[in-house]
Amino acid sequence: METITENQKLKVAKKIKKMFGHMKRSEMEYCPIRDVMALASDKWSILIILYLGYYPVLRFNQLKKKVYGISNKVLSERLKVLESDGYLSRTLYPEVPIRVEYELTDFGHSYLQKILDLSEWVTTYSDQIMANRKKYANAQG
């Protein structure tokens, strides 16, 4: 892990201050960062967005296969939330059997870039995190 300089830390602190340094106590209670992040950064939503970044168009059951382990219920819920927030579009083709296609909006693609940076970081360091966990678990006995 490359060390971070004091100068970089100061820059980061400045950015954080800009983000919510002006917020009052009462405003913190309903904090958009908390709200938006809570919905879009859970494990399933991130995977859905990543898969739609890779396969530009996917149907419900295709997504279900790709997003390994997700249930109908949760997939359906997440898709509604992600559509509602504007990350993806849902198009229904009234054929028989019915066909429904999901794809990222421009907004979703913008978000995907951020999520992708984060995911790449996680992928790069996941081994180290697992090692950290083991070390901690041993230290605790």
Partner DNA sequence: AAGAGCAGGTTACCAAAAGTAACTTATATT
Partner DNA sequence: AATATAAGTTACTTTTGGTAACCTGCTCTT
Residues forming contacts to DNA in the complex (CB under 7 A) are: 42, 44, 59-62, 69-74, 76-77, 79, 90, 96-101
The entry of its own copies, DNA, none near residue 10 (CB within 5 to 8 angstroms by kind) is: none
The entry of its own copies, DNA, none near residue 72 (CB within 5 to 8 angstroms by kind) is: DNA
User: Looking up tokens 């002006």, which residue turns up?
Assistant: 22
Exposure of 71 by Cβ count < 10 A (0-12 exposed, 13-18 middle, 19+ buried)? exposed
Residue 96 identity (one-letter amino acid): V
Compute the CA torsion angle 72, 120, 138, 140 (nearest 10 deg): -70
- Which residues in the 51-90 window bind its own copies by CB under 8 A? 53-54, 56, 68-69, 83-86
The closest of 105, 87, 89 to 46, measured between CA atoms, is: 87
Which residues in this chain contact its own copies in the complex, by CB under 8 A? 1-4, 8-9, 12-13, 15-17, 19-21, 25, 28-29, 31-38, 40-43, 46-47, 50, 53-54, 56, 68-69, 83-86, 106-107, 109-123, 125-126, 128-130, 132-133, 136-137
